[in-house]
Amino acid sequence: MSHDCEPCRISRRALLKGAGAATTVAVAVPALGASAAFASTNATRRGDVVVNVFLRGGMDGLSVVVPRHEGAGAGHYVAARPTIAVDPAAVLPLTADFGLHPAMSSLMPLWAAGRLALVPTAGFPLNDRSHFTVQRQMDHGMAERTAADGWLARYLNTTPGTDPIGVRAANLPYGQRSMHGSTVSVTMGSIDRFRINGFAGPGGMAQAALRALHEGGSSLVDQRARQAIDALDLVAAAPIEPPANGAAYPTTGRGRRFGESMRQIAQLIRADVGLEAAATESSLGWDYHSGFGPYTDGAMQGSVEALAQVLAAFATDLGPLMDKVTVVLMTEFGRTFRENGNAGLDHGRASTMMVLGGGIRGGLYGDWPGLAPEDIDRNGLRVTADYRLVLADVLEHRLGVTDLAAILPGFTPDDAARLNLADPLVEPAAPVAVPSGATAELPPVAPADRPEEQTPEPADDAPAVAGPGTYVWVTPEQAVVHVEVPAPAGDPEVAPIEAARAALGGPVSSYVLVRIDNSSGTAPVVPPLMSVRSSDGVPSAYRESWIVLGEWIAASSGVDVAGAEALGADIRSRSTVEPGTSATLALVAAGAPSDVAEVRVGSGSSSVPLAQAVAAP
């Protein structure tokens, strides 16, 4: 079956790869024998704060990421939804073939910054269309098996904290099944009501009585009671501040409640109370069996607009703290492909999962199944990405989990199916200082010629030499990463990429090439985020450019477009560089620094400065 068309530049498979009123605090008490748990501060926490948002009700993913080109099935989509389809000509372009609902424009700055990943064919692996069954299984991180605890609870229970006082995990505004079974989570209706009521007086009286009751006790219950009271005191002492950076959460309408929960999660993060995980939900009316409405002013339009406004406000509120925060949004299923007789949509299959954060590789992910009649799964968009593939990337790459089976039991992702939508955490190791060389080319790196052996002295927390050239980093797994930064202006090598990118809607101002020599490495390497900082302090972030890769190969190598697309798809599928191999990747950014002052690898506070190996002529 073919879906090819003249304007389609990328193959279909490669297209997307790249508490109650009386008591407002509930504190989980672990089973006997569990070890003490501690919290982390923003400074001591190694992994991200993870925020899990469940969009309960079944969100229609085809109204979020909309096919806008025939190669993606735009004609089939419009024909299947005569009164409720989003006009493909009105969407906000994401790629040549897909666009975002026009009411979600507040998310476009995150998309442009490479901080938003969309997986439009994600879902539960089994064809179960019961809200309650699928929600429960996804909250537990399961498929066919059952569990007594949630996937976030298992993560927290198997990961030690570093601070004896703090709030490691929070549910707002009430308990979430993903946290069920956690030994450290608290549930709060709101921060200002996070207290213990009792004795017909202020909560402080009850807290004092409980502290006196458990003071000095050595049992696990005594320890946990003291820890809970410490958490209450910590939150009570935290500054209650308005949203930062001009962030505006919805205060009326459909997004008010969800906005309030996300605002308070952001407040806990900014107050640095030790938060490592938070869980909430967004019931914005997704279950539209009828009354879906037109994309311009209908019910679904209001839902997606509110969702986007809250997420954008959250990111703005946190500002630089988003470098160490990952938000995961999931829903139990999408809706039917064809609209029903009530101008609505019934329970379907795949929907769009969303992940945003400073360590996220923005883009579209997953294999697009097509929208022709033979591609549809019982009137639903076919699931091609198990929802646990997204969780696996977040757990391993942003939270530092090394035993995935302990968090997602029964799930062993195939390497070929991995999405790699997040930058791996970078060990805070010293950079490798390499003296400037006279040669313009770096020779192949042999084990005996490693830069770390050439320069035993530790380097400062900055490159040895500023300016364009080749920067070197030796990973903890002993892979050697060369980041080749061209001159920011007037470099003739930029021309092929600019010419190729122009066909997709605009030139690329700058790029870097990354050569990874993992011939002597001990573990696979996933290329992380690279950043280049100019002398005026403005950074430019560089990420793997799956969008322009095929076009760039064609323009720079002279091979035909079909061959370039095939090669580009192969490179994208091999974004993990295995031991004993090497790879070259093209990364692009929207803005070029006027001159290079620093090159770093990694995200935010977990990044590592690189030393320059070859100075510019």
From the CB of residue 566, how many other CB atoms can be counted at a distance below 10 Å? 16
Q: Is residue 560 part of a domain?
A: yes
DSSP secondary structure string for all residues of 392-424: HHIIIIIS--S-HHHHSTT----GGG----BPP
Q: Is residue 40 part of a domain?
A: no
Q: Is residue 92 part of a domain?
A: yes
Q: How many alpha carbons lie under 13 Å from residue 43 in its C-beta half-sphere?
A: 2
Query: CB under 8 Å to 573, separation ≥6 — which residues?
Result: 17, 416
Say how many Å lie between the first and final Cα of the chain, rounded.
53
Q: Is residue 120 part of a domain?
A: yes
Query: Residues 131, 258: one domain?
Result: yes
Q: Is residue 74 part of a domain?
A: yes
Q: Is residue 418 part of a domain?
A: no
> What is the phi/psi pair of residue 360, to 5°?
-100, 140
CA distance 65 to 77: 12
Instruction: Name the residue range of residue 541's domain.
Output: 504-571
Last residue in a domain, options 399, 429, 457: 399
Question: Cis (ω within 30 of 0) for the bond into 593?
Answer: no
Write out residues in the chain with pLDDT < 50, as ranges.
1-39, 199-201, 428-464, 489-509, 544-552, 555-557, 567-568, 570-574, 590-591, 615-617
Q: How many alpha carbons lie under 13 Å from residue 160 in its C-beta half-sphere?
A: 6
**pLDDT one-digit tens code per residue, 28-73:** 433 333 333 344 556 556 689 999 999 999 999 999 999 999 989 9
CB 367 within 8 A of CB 120: no
Q: Is residue 201 part of a domain?
A: no
Q: Is residue 121 part of a domain?
A: yes
State how many domains the chain has.
Answer: 2
Report the chain's C-alpha Rg in angstroms. Answer: 25
What distances in angstroms separate CA 239 from CA 235, 257, 268, 579, one per listed residue?
8, 22, 9, 49
Query: Residues 392, 510: one domain?
Result: no
Query: Residues 116, 262: one domain?
Result: yes
pLDDT at position 513 is 66
Token output for 557: 């190598």
CA distance 373 to 379: 9
CB 187 within 8 A of CB 25: yes
Last residue in a domain, options 361, 380, 399: 399
Token output for 332: 């139990």
Strands 611-615 and 582-589: unpaired
Q: What CATH number is attached to the domain comprising 292?
A: 3.40.720
Q: How many alpha carbons lie under 13 Å from residue 421 in its C-beta half-sphere?
A: 33
Amino acid occupying residue 377:
D
- Max Cα separation, the chain? 81
What distances in angstroms separate CA 472 from CA 576, 594, 615, one per listed residue?
18, 21, 12
Residues in the chain: 617
Last residue in a domain, options 571, 589, 604: 571
Query: Residues 297, 158: one domain?
Result: yes
pTM: 0.74
Query: Residues 391, 509: one domain?
Result: no
Query: Residues 260, 121: one domain?
Result: yes
**pLDDT one-digit tens code per residue, 93-110:** 988 889 999 999 999 999
Buried b (16+ CB within 10 A) or exposed e, 240-254: eeebeeebebbeeeb
């969008």: which residue's tokens? 547
DSSP secondary structure string for all residues of 532-567: EEETTS-EEEEEE-TTTHHHHHHHHH---HHHHHHH
Q: Which residue spans within 63-213 are E strands per DSSP?
A: 65-67, 92-93, 98-100, 116-123, 169-171, 185-188
Query: Residues 128, 259: one domain?
Result: yes
Token output for 196: 């213990």
| Helix, strand or coil, per DSSP, at residue 484 | strand
> What is the phi/psi pair of residue 6, to 5°?
-60, -45
CA distance 432 to 609: 9
Query: Residues 262, 379: one domain?
Result: yes
What distances in angstroms separate CA 240 from CA 232, 397, 421, one per listed residue?
14, 32, 34
CA distance 320 to 335: 36
Query: Residues 390, 516: one domain?
Result: no
